[in-house]
Amino acid sequence: MTPEPVLSVERLVIEVARTGARVVDDVSLTVGPGEVLGLAGESGCGKTTLSLALLGYTRRGLAASSGRVRVGDRSLLEMGEEALEHERGSLVTYVPQDPASALNPALRVGTQLEEVITFHRRNEDRAGRRGLVTKVLEDVGLPTTRSLLESYPHQLSGGQQQRIAIAMAIVNRPRLIVMDEPTTGLDVTTQARVLQTIRDVCREHGGGVVYVTHDLAVVSSLAIRVAVMYAGRLAEVGPADQVLQRPAHPYVHGLLQAVPDIEGRRELTGIPGQAPDPGRRLEQCLFAPRCPLAVEECRQAIPPPVAVGEGHRAWCIRVAEQAGAPVAAGPGVAPREVAANGSGALLAIDDLDAGYGSRPVLHGISLSIPTGASLALVGESGSGKTTLARCIAGLHTGYTGTISLAGAQLARAARARPAAAREAIQYVFQNPYSSLNPRRSIEESIAQPLHYTEEHPDRAEIDRRVSRALDSVSLSAAVRRRYPHELSGGQRQRVAIARALIVEPRLLVCDEVTSALDVSVQAVVIELLDELRRRRGLSMLFVTHNLALVHSVADEIAVIEGGRILERGPVERVLARPTSEATRALVANVPRLAPVASGAG
């Protein structure tokens, strides 16, 4: 690193002011000019707290207790609020995760862009400001028309809003741009465009970018260097290709194994257990309890950084054992046979049109799921996939056409269906944080459906079946008396699956069940679903926007766009030789772990 770094963080510690629990612990980083640093880690690891500290900001209740943050020649943590206000937006800028809430809904976007310029460059005249706005809109690939500048944020799509937010961040040519998962809420096509913009902007004016994300695939396509955090500390820092191809830290290795791969060359493997919360972090290697390579020494002290290569360090004393083990060592996912048990379709949808009020959402959908088969319904947001899933579950009744289960036509509303049909189709929701009643214990939640079945099992029987259901999702009996807020996201999603399984369903409708989960947890849940399917002969409708997951859960895939099924067929065929343009674009735009793809492809 010969050139003067744009950003240097030295031994930064951020604590909860009241308890002294460390949220960010002893983090040192540098970013050079023109460099993109990918800051990766799972939820709760402190990456957002760290990224905000780069702007000299800590959330209420948190305080930077030691360490330094320097951007260019300014030391941000020592500045007063007024001085910081001046630097934010010109020296260092921020692109938040959710563009919809970052833009002022009451102001036209053109006004908002000009405001950023006016605040920091007071002597710029009107024509000069207009010129800057036009230039920056070209930079982010938006049309420079008046109609765009005069529209309000809600009139733009999510991708356009995000690009406006990026434009606001780069218009003053800052030294450092901090981006907090700016592509999470976007579909893949938009994501790819936004990522390209960031790369170009960074290269052109020699600023640095810190790109915060939980998605390692995004990191691999964007970042020059990667820093992976775990439980508030750095786990590994190094050049992206090295870290992603030959990770030196067992956690990073595990994380990479958990990233789904669209080519299906790796069996998904999750990392059991979970990271400790702030305040419960001991003076030892925090990953040791989950680490396959942990030895007694790991539990003695916080591991020092160990140099693995040029500019590549890992905070692990077992790097010698880990280094060199390439990711993707597994045998790969075996091609599946479409399991049709002769008996024909379990679920058949025929010529279904659905809408909300007068707004049509689905057009002429015909689909069937054979008994024991798993169908992935893939589409971008707004394609109508969730609406279709809700029609099947009896939650959305505004449709024409028929849905039949094992040959018998189903009533539209769930309440109008016979009990047997309601039990046969079970729905697992996207967000495990809202699908469990927070006032009910886990045991009560799982047993809830049993009270409304025809057989009315007695207490002992309920108890037995709850145990069996918990067992089948690998949760210990200890969670029975807990409440949802005491469980992690992955555990909650497993509880939701247990609740679905307890009535012995025939079809499981999984609506984006892993999109709210971290990758290592996502992999665990996917493993679980796949195992249940094989062992119990469950049929599954797996609704997702994530094509990369499809290999691990489905034998057939149906691509939906604009409310129409574009194509349908075996997973291998559709991914390898898509027949429609939209599918091709979807497949091409999935972020991949680039080094792995080039190494094996």
Query: Is residue 278 close enough to count as binding another protein by CB under 8 A?
Result: yes
- Write the Ramachandran bin of 5: left for phi over 0, alpha for psi from -120 to 50, otherwise beta: beta
Among 32, 44, 56, 264, binds another protein (CB under 8 A): 44
The count of residues interacting with another protein (CB under 8 A) is 93
Query: Is residue 260 close enough to count as binding another protein by CB under 8 A?
Result: no
Query: Is residue 520 close enough to count as binding another protein by CB under 8 A?
Result: no
Query: Site residues for another protein, window 465-494 (CB under 8 A)?
Result: 474, 476, 479, 481-491
How many residues are recorded in the chain? Answer: 601
User: Would you give the DSSP letter of residue 410?
Assistant: P
Stretch that binds another protein, among 222-230, 425-433, 576-584, 586-594 (CB under 8 A): 425-433
Residue type, 177: I
* DSSP letters for 73-125: TEEGGGS-HHHHHHHBTTTEEEE-S-HHHHS-TTS-HHHHHHHHHHHH-TT--
Query: Site residues for another protein, window 90-129 (CB under 8 A)?
Result: 97-98, 101
Query: Is residue 562 close enough to count as binding another protein by CB under 8 A?
Result: no
Query: Site residues for another protein, window 532-561 (CB under 8 A)?
Result: 545-546
Query: Is residue 273 close enough to count as binding another protein by CB under 8 A?
Result: yes
Stretch that binds another protein, among 135-143, 365-373, 378-386, 591-599 (CB under 8 A): 378-386
Among 302, 368, 515, 570, binds another protein (CB under 8 A): 515
CA distances in angstroms from 565 to 73, 359, 590, listed in the order given: 56, 18, 20
Q: Which of 143, 145, 161 is nearest to 153 (CA)?
A: 161
Query: Is residue 502 close enough to count as binding another protein by CB under 8 A?
Result: no
Among 338, 395, 462, 585, binds another protein (CB under 8 A): 395
Closest contact distance (angstroms) between CB of 373 and another protein is 21
User: Would you give the DSSP letter of residue 473?
Assistant: T
Query: Site residues for another protein, window 292-331 (CB under 8 A)?
Result: none
**Tally of CB atoms within 10 A around 276:** 17
Query: Site residues for another protein, window 440-459 (CB under 8 A)?
Result: 440-441, 445, 448-449, 452
Q: Do the beta carbons of residue 372 and residue 555 sit within 8 Å?
A: no
Binding mask 348-377 for another protein (x = CB under 8 A): --------x----x----------------
Q: Where does residue 373 rank: exposed (0-12), middle (13-18), buried (19+ CB within 10 A)?
A: buried
Among 163, 246, 385, 533, binds another protein (CB under 8 A): 385
Query: Is residue 516 close enough to count as binding another protein by CB under 8 A?
Result: yes
Query: Is residue 257 close enough to count as binding another protein by CB under 8 A?
Result: no
Q: Do the beta carbons of residue 28 and residue 57 sit within 8 Å?
A: no
CA distances in angstroms from 179 to 9, 11, 37, 96, 462, listed in the order given: 17, 21, 10, 6, 49
Among 31, 37, 53, 62, binds another protein (CB under 8 A): 62
Closest contact distance (angstroms) between CB of 206 and another protein is 30
